[in-house]
Structure 1
Amino acid sequence: MFDYHMHSSFSADCPVPMEDMIKGAIQKGLTEICFTEHIDYEYPDDTIVFDFDKKEYASKLIEMQKKYEGHIRIKKGVEIGVQPHILDKYDELMAKEVFDFVICSMHTVEKKGLHYGEFFEHKTIEEAYGIYYAELLYCVKNYKQFNILGHVDLVKRYTKKTV
């Protein structure tokens, strides 16, 4: 069994050290994992920076791969937060970095975060979903450097019942 959507303290939304995540994965019987730390350029909340030190990340991964060799396979991944106007920034990232696995996710629509509800203001549910999926479709058609789409129904998680 494996898990390719794991975050550690390299992601702004996870305080758990990488080694603790590995130990937990081994305890659960996983045989292969991939850390897909968040990079979300232009995330609309200045209090959160969804980026990390790539050299430190690679170094820690190599250290953990060596330490846990024979117990679990550990891969290097990333979860990118796409938006139509910043796809070129992810092209630049992929030209510089090598990842075993890339998750393409959308956390921001119309340059507004889904998490805080601002995107949904003054829209019906149908309008909000239409815009979300139109932007996601644009990104999928115009950006190819990923392995899988992440939580394509994320918009549903943050939809206000009163929209």
Structure 2
Amino acid sequence: MLLTDYHTHSVLSPDGNVPLARMADAAVAAGLGELCITDHCDLMDQDGGRVYGYNWPAAVSQFRETVPMFQGRLNLRLGLEFGVPHVDRTAAEQILSLPELDFVIGSVHNLSPARGGRDFYFVDYPDADACYAALDDYFASMSVLACTDLYDVLGHIIYPLRYMHTPVSLERYRETIRTILRKVVEGGRGIEINTYRGRTIADWQPILELYRDCGGEIVTVGSDAHLPEHVGLGISEACALLQQTGFRYLATYEKRKPELHRL
């Protein structure tokens, strides 16, 4: 079975720490066959301010320097984690036209502009009401993003739960999530299992079951690693969960086109 990590970050992400070469070394050590670097490209900063453009030359330069070092040992792909691309379609389209881009994760990291735009990581969640208010806003934004063509796979659908210490349930959002996943499928796009560095595997089962019911087939897996020691964490378990929930394939991408590999 091909093992891949399709959600990783290098020093080019604001919260990244190490160059791509060290992440690739870790991927080889973890037994992966393919690694996609998906550094952050967000159109809103952590406080909700607008961000314009992306340092694509630095990303391409790092990628080109690293690929020859791993020839025959590891396939490398160049991607982006594109945060809230739907807030500015013109800017998003310019970024997506960049040459050599293999893969795009469409993510929502921020509250909507109407709610101040703060990153969910920095939001206070004192009680269940605060959690559900944030989740209401989150899935409303994701519903908009899902209907666009500004991504290849929809990223970490359960993202805000990482930061909520009050027990909450996504059951009240079941039909909203179903509608989101149906739009993903209708657009010929996919979703990811984001293992959150191996911490969240079982949490994905209900999402995968809904996605499969909607006819979904395209799934990537990613650790969301920002450090070499986190590369590949949870990938084998995520692939096993895919098999258990009836999926037959794991997706990889080259030049924005998916390739399905039998699990």
Structure 2 length-normalised TM: 0.54
The 2-side partners of 1:20 and 1:78 are apart by 18
Identify if the C-alpha distance between structure 1 residues 51 and 157 changes in structure 2 by more than 3 Å, giving closer, same or farther: farther
Deviates more, 1:101-110 or 1:83-92: 83-92
Which blocks of at least 5 consecutive residues in structure 1 are unaligned? Answer: none
Which residue, 94, 108, 111 being the options, matches 2:110? 108
Identify if the C-alpha distance between structure 1 residues 59 and 83 changes in structure 2 by more than 3 Å, giving closer, same or farther: closer
Give the length in aligned residue pairs. 159
1:149 is matched with 154
8 Å CA contact 2:85–2:150 kept in 1: the answer is no
Which residue, 125, 133, 142 being the options, matches 2:139? 133
8 Å CA contact 1:43–1:50 kept in 2: the answer is no
Deviation at 1:95, TM superposition (A): 2.3
Give the RMSD, CA atoms, in angstroms: 2.6
Which residue, 72, 75, 99 being the options, matches 2:74? 72
The 2-side partners of 1:20 and 1:44 are apart by 27
Identify if the C-alpha distance between structure 1 residues 27 and 51 changes in structure 2 by more than 3 Å, giving closer, same or farther: farther
Identify if the C-alpha distance between structure 1 residues 157 and 40 changes in structure 2 by more than 3 Å, giving closer, same or farther: same
Which residue, 82, 85, 102 being the options, matches 2:84? 82
Does the residue aligned with 2:121 lie in a helix, a strand or coil? Answer: coil
8 Å CA contact 2:84–2:109 kept in 1: the answer is yes
Amino acid at match of 1:154: Y
Which residue, 44, 58, 61 being the options, matches 2:60? 58
Cα deviation per residue 1:35-93 (whole Å; 9 max; x = unaligned)?
A: 001011221349xx897521121122112111211010100100011164323321121
Identify if the C-alpha distance between structure 1 residues 85 and 10 changes in structure 2 by more than 3 Å, giving closer, same or farther: same
Cα deviation per residue 1:83-114 (whole Å; 9 max; x = unaligned)?
A: 64323321121123441110011000121211
Percent of pairs identical after alignment? 26
Identify if the C-alpha distance between structure 1 residues 43 and 157 changes in structure 2 by more than 3 Å, giving closer, same or farther: same
Amino acid at match of 2:164: T
1:43 is matched with 45
Structure 1 length-normalised TM: 0.85
Deviation at 1:140, TM superposition (A): 1.3
8 Å CA contact 2:79–2:101 kept in 1: the answer is yes
The 2-side partners of 1:144 and 1:127 are apart by 27
8 Å CA contact 1:79–1:102 kept in 2: the answer is yes
Deviation at 1:127, TM superposition (A): 2.8
The 1-side partners of 2:77 and 2:57 are apart by 15
Please state if 1:161 is matched with 2:163: no
2:215 is matched with none
8 Å CA contact 1:117–1:160 kept in 2: the answer is no
Identify if the C-alpha distance between structure 1 residues 50 and 13 changes in structure 2 by more than 3 Å, giving closer, same or farther: farther
